[in-house]
Amino acid sequence: MHRMLIVVLLGAATVFSTNAQAASFGSSPFYAGASLGPSEETGYNNNVAVKVFAGYRILASLAIEAEAGFLGKFTESLGPGSTTTDESYVAAVMAVGRLPIDDHNLLYGKVGGTMFHDLTTNTVIAGSIYCPSCTSNIYTSSSNTYSGLTFGVGYQHRFVDLEDQGTWWPDTVRVEAQAYGNNVNILDVGVIYDF
């Protein structure tokens, strides 16, 4: 019974993927794009993330994608007269599972590894309770590079038919939610150009 169910599911997935090949591949397996959207880091104020990405569709249902981006500049108050600011940069490589709905729409999920680079600046305001005798602000900076995981889900829509692709204008838009490690979450809108 279980074997029969597995065979039926695999067969259905193969037919579905074949029928939706156009929605998954585009005129070439290569694609690139950029995205923009709000970001948040635990304990800090919200900010804006900007990313660029490029990918290669291995199968109708699977792609490999790399991205680099600025996740935001986050500021937290440590008390009267003292703040810390964290600028977060990221580079990631991910596997993208794709579920075509029809020739123009698909859902996807992705997971992968990422490298973070954080630049942190602590500021003490002159005359504050932290340094009442200071005549000028005190700034201390540090940086930290570390690795982690990232995962996300999204929806993608192609505006033009496959045979009309190839113009210089991006023909696909996507909306996605993505988490980086345990700290940063983003919700962004991106455009994609198929080569």
In a 13 Å sphere around the CA of 181, the CA atoms on its Cβ side amount to 20
- CATH of region 2-194, choose from 2.40.160.20, 2.40.10.10, 3.20.20.450, 2.40.170.20: 2.40.160.20
CA nearest neighbour of 51 among 73, 65, 31, 71: 71
Strands 184-194 and 30-41: antiparallel
Structure tokens at 24: 């998954």
pLDDT digits (tens, 9 = 90+) for 106-158: 999 999 999 998 888 777 676 666 667 776 777 677 788 889 999 999 999 98
Structure tokens at 146: 């570390």
What residue ranges of the chain have pLDDT lower than 70? 1-27, 43, 45, 77-79, 81-82, 124, 126-131, 135, 139, 161-170
CB 103 within 8 A of CB 22: yes
